[in-house]
């Protein structure tokens, strides 16, 4: 079963960077992963909450990742998300 990563965006009223670039980087770095912006049946391994600024106002209380949830507020945060996906023990 491929790694499942659920993406959740903030609403993007005044983003300081291109939030969709995070998804593009994830898809490039983890081509085998199942990366989706919408809910699917069954659990997700990771949840990435991609926020356009430090306010991080996206609603995500209802989202759970078996191996964790990462909240990104700048492009720099991609590194910690990628590291978490790489290091996760999904066995």
| Run of H or E residues at 22 | helix 20-29
- Position 54 contacts another protein (CB under 8 A): no
**18 contact partners, CB below 8 Å, separation of at least 6:** none
- Position 72 contacts another protein (CB under 8 A): no
- Position 19 contacts another protein (CB under 8 A): yes
Report, in Å, the least distance between residue 91 CB and another protein: 30
| Coil vs helix vs strand at 71 | strand
Contacts with another protein by CB under 8 A lie at 7-14, 19-20, 37-38, 57-59
């Amino acid at each position: 079963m491929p790694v499942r990563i659920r993406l959740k965006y903030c609403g993007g009223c005044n983003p300081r960077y291109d939030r969709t670039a995070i998804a593009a980087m994830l898809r490039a770095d983890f081509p085998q992963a199942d990366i989706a912006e919408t809910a699917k049946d069954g659990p997700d391994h990771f949840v990435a909450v991609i926020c356009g600024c430090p306010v991080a106002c996206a609603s995500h209380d209802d989202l759970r990742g078996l191996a964790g949830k990462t909240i990104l507020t700048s492009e720099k945060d991609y590194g910690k998300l990628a590291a978490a996906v790489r290091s996760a023990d999904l066995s």
